Amino acid sequence: MEFSEIFDKIEEQLEGEAHLDELARKKQDPFKILISTILSARTRDANTRIATEKLFAKFSTPKTIAEANLDEIELLIRSSGFYKVKAARIKDVSRILVERYNSNVPDNYEELISLPGVGSKTANCVLVYAYKVPAIPVDVHVHRISNRLGWVKTKTPPKTEVALKNTIPKELWLKLNRLIVRFGQQICISIKPKCESCSINNICPKDFSMELAIKKKIKNKYN
């Protein structure tokens, strides 16, 4: 089955809209998408949404966040996990955007990745969701599901990104993250995936070897 057909089959069983998808559809500015992506690290979509909206209701530009009191930023983004670290990061990134980029968010990977606390996933999310530049943001869902489906055989998200770029046709890159993240939240979930009701059950090799290897490693570490 072609990847485009697999993507269609995955999409037909999904509900709702991921937060970044919603921001992209509403054509929110790249700064909001960057900050929201930073806030989304290890945080549920619903909590990211609350933190983003609270923050942007009060401070909506790099300049206002750079000049804001750190305690106030922490308070506004409290619903997202690790809010102290994230608040400091957001303030720092905002300051650099003001100082070096005239308050604009860069539209290329090299400059994005040079911002404090911006890793490969965040940089690629900004490219995809803010600028529609083909890229593959790899989070835990994309890493896990790509391995389960046998698209890649990798141990880390950075290796998955490289492998996926060599496997998935470029015209599908923009779609991949928004599809697979929701698929990972709703169907192919981390623990007990809903294989019986999954629309691609018949073509899925159900390769859990990457996850089993991680579990084994953790078990050995504590035994």
Q: Which residues bind ligand SF4 (CB under 6 A)?
A: 148-149, 187-188, 193-195, 198, 200-201, 204, 206
The separation between the first and the last C-alpha atoms of the chain, rounded to the nearest angstrom, is 43
CA angle 161, 114, 47 (to 5 degrees): 70
Specify the residue, 30 or 193, whose C-beta has the smaller distance to ligand SF4.
Answer: 193
Specify the residue, 85 or 195, whose C-beta has the smaller distance to ligand SF4.
Answer: 195
| In the complex, minimum distance from the CB of residue 89 to ligand SF4, in angstroms, rounded to a whole number | 33
- Residues 35, 55 contacting (CB under 8 angstroms): yes
Specify the residue, 169 or 205, whose C-beta has the smaller distance to ligand SF4.
Answer: 205
| In the complex, minimum distance from the CB of residue 188 to ligand SF4, in angstroms, rounded to a whole number | 3
Specify the residue, 110 or 196, whose C-beta has the smaller distance to ligand SF4.
Answer: 196
How many Cβ atoms from other residues are within 10 Å of residue 210's Cβ?
18
What are the phi and psi torsion angles at 47 (to 5°)?
-75, -35
| In the complex, minimum distance from the CB of residue 151 to ligand SF4, in angstroms, rounded to a whole number | 10
Angle formed by the axes of helices 30-39 and 45-58, nearest 10°: 130
